Amino acid sequence: MLCRGTFQAGNVAIGDHNECYKRFFNSVSIGCRKSFVSSCSVGARSGPVLAVATNETTKTKQMAYEPSLADRLRLGTMSEDGMSYKEKFIVRCYEVGINKTVTVETIANLLQEVGCNHAQSVGFSTDGFATTHSMRKLHLIWVTARMYIEIYKYPAWSDVVEIETWCQSEGRIGTRRDWILKDCATGEVIGRATSKWLMMNQDTRRLQKVTDEVRDELELYFPKELRLAFPEENNGSLKKIAKLEDPAEYSKLGMVPRRADLDMNQHVNNVTYIGWVLESIPQEIIDTHELETITIDYRRECQHDDVVDSLTSVEPIEDADALESHGSNGSATAPKDVNKSFLHLLRLSSDGLEINRCRTEWRKKSART
């Protein structure tokens, strides 16, 4: 699921995310699954098949759907089995940063866009929050718990990128959305991403478990078997983020949300937090390195009148053997030319409450022609 909200930390032990997600809920087949028609097809077409499980039988209802102009122009299609969605994007000049390649914020925005388009393609709400009928009835929305992005090669202006995405259950308390990014010209995988989503009551702002009614609606569009963008054991998306302690080595204080940073729910868009995190990265790293991975745990909503501090420190290395091999002489951190991992903290300036914590890894910039 993909929306633009984050949630209040006080309602759940957010620090134990990984424990909450250790057990995956394998999707089950409910009724008859149908293939979906490409969202690019021109002219009238049938909408998605919506199936509702009953005691012993499954009823299906076919709804007529007239594609909009956006549907016809969008370069997106459902997979043959209807379990994933792919869309192509052309990199625009305004999406390119100082490295003459797209920024990580651009990538995060594209992930958000393809996720929303996927949700619309299967018949969920068109308001940007990917809610099902039961969710809207119960005033429930999706909120981001964690985002992990791994980038192997940054696209440049006019490159064409294809992004595939799919959703599935994760435990009884939420869902996950994964992405694969490819260079359309070569077919090369240039990035992967995964995210975790929890359900919140829009009125009380409290988290709650995914109900059976909502799960039945969602599972129609989940892969029949668990599919992960990061199937490797001990991959970076699973790593817990240690809290950055004061005093931080680098900081950017007193940042205020712009009007353009707010989403339709009057809260700061979750992509904006990534930009705030990177504001406190030292300039020498920006000049010589590029971001390889970013993990961000969302803990608290941020609103238009909040003032935010961004704190950054080099991440300590726990492996004593690695430290010794790099000649650190017992230092808690590795030499600057070895360790390019950082811990980050966004907090409210007024009371120091944690908005989110983040971890980034950086690699040396490659020579470009």
Tell me if residue 322 falls in helix, strand or coil. Answer: helix
Give the CATH superfamily of 239-316+337-368.
Answer: Hotdog Thioesterase (3.10.129.10)
Cα three-residue angle 355-358-360, rounded to 5 degrees: 155
Question: Which listed residue (20, 267, 269, 358) is catalytic?
Answer: 267
39 exposure class (CB count in 10 Å sphere: 0-12, 13-18, 19+): buried
Do 71-234 and 239-316+337-368 come out as alike in CATH topology? yes
d(CA 67, CA 160): 24
Residue 319, helix vs strand vs coil: coil
Catalytic site residue from 109, 201, 235, 265 = 265
Closest by alpha carbon to 276, among 256, 305, 262? 256
pLDDT at 305: 92
For 89, 182, 205, the CA distances from 186, given in Å and listed in that order, are 15, 8, 45
Q: In this structure, which amino acid lies at residue 161?
A: V
Provide the terminal-to-terminal Cα distance of the chain, rounded to the nearest Å.
Answer: 39
Instruction: Please report the pLDDT score of residue 55 as a whole number.
Output: 38
Q: How far apart (Å, rounded) are the C-alpha atoms in residues 104 and 99?
A: 11
Q: How far apart are CA 3 and CA 347, in angstroms?
A: 22
Contact in structure between 58 and 31 (CB atoms under 8 Å): yes
State residue 129's pLDDT score. 66
- How high is the pLDDT of residue 319? 54
Q: What are phi and psi of 142, to 5 degrees?
A: -95, 140
* 301 neighbors 8 (Cβ within 8 angstroms): yes
The candidate with the shortest Cα–Cα distance to 208, out of 167, 173, 177, 171, is 173
DSSP-derived letter for residue 15 is G
Q: Token digits for 173?
A: 């308390």
* Cα separation values, 254 from 41, 144, 276, 280, 354, Å: 48, 24, 11, 12, 14
CB 356 within 8 A of CB 6: yes
pLDDT value for 75:
84
Which architecture, in CATH terms, is 71-234? Roll (3.10)
Please identify which of the residues 3, 116, 167, 302 carries the catalytic annotation: 302
Does residue 217 contact residue 133 with C-beta atoms inside 8 Å? yes
pLDDT of residue 128: 54
Token pair 């990177």 is found at: 278
In the annotation, is 267 catalytic?
yes
Tell me the C-alpha distance between 311 and 355, whole Å: 12
Average pLDDT, consecutive stretches of 10 residues, N- to C-terminus, the chain (369 residues): 44 39 32 33 35 38 60 84 94 94 97 91 73 87 93 97 94 89 98 94 88 88 92 93 92 95 84 96 94 95 92 81 44 51 96 96 80
The structural domains of the chain, with segments of one domain joined by +, span: 71-234, 239-316+337-368
Residue 338, pLDDT score: 52
| 302 belongs to the catalytic site | yes
Q: How far is Cα of residue 141 from the mean position of the Cα atoms in its chain?
A: 16
**What is the pLDDT at residue 11?**
40
